[in-house]
Structure 1
Amino acid sequence: MPSCDNCGSHVSEQFARVFADEHGEILACVNCSANAGIAEEAKRRAQKP
């Protein structure tokens, strides 16, 4: 089962297909980010060194 790489919460396969990056990493989910900003938060977290 896929999980958020930021907080470790389990996410659905469908969520992973939509929000995972090209490496399969899920950098934000509904448990650690606002629903409306998941994609933006994932991009921001990916840019951190």
Structure 2
Amino acid sequence: MPNCDHCGAHVSERFARVFADESGYIRACPACSANAGIAEVARERAQKV
């Protein structure tokens, strides 16, 4: 079962396929970011690392 690497919340396999980066890292999910901005939050968090 995939989990958000930012907050640890469970996410579906489908969510992971869509929003995980090329290494499988999930930087944002509905539990820790607004649904409308998940892709944007993930990009912002990736730049901070």
Question: Which TM-score tier does this pair reach, normalised by the shorter chain?
Answer: over 0.9
TM superposition score normalised by structure 1: 0.97
Measured after TM superposition, the shift of residue 43 of structure 1 is: 0.3
How many residue pairs match? The answer is 49
Residue by residue, what CA displacement relative to the aligned partner does 1:1-49 show, whole Å, maximum 9, x if unpaired?
0000000000000000000000100000000000000000000000003
Number of the residue aligned with 1:34: 34
Number of the residue aligned with 2:45: 45
TM superposition score normalised by structure 2: 0.97
Q: CA RMSD in A?
A: 0.5
Structure 1: gaps (5+ residues): none
Runs of 4 or more above 6 Å deviation: none
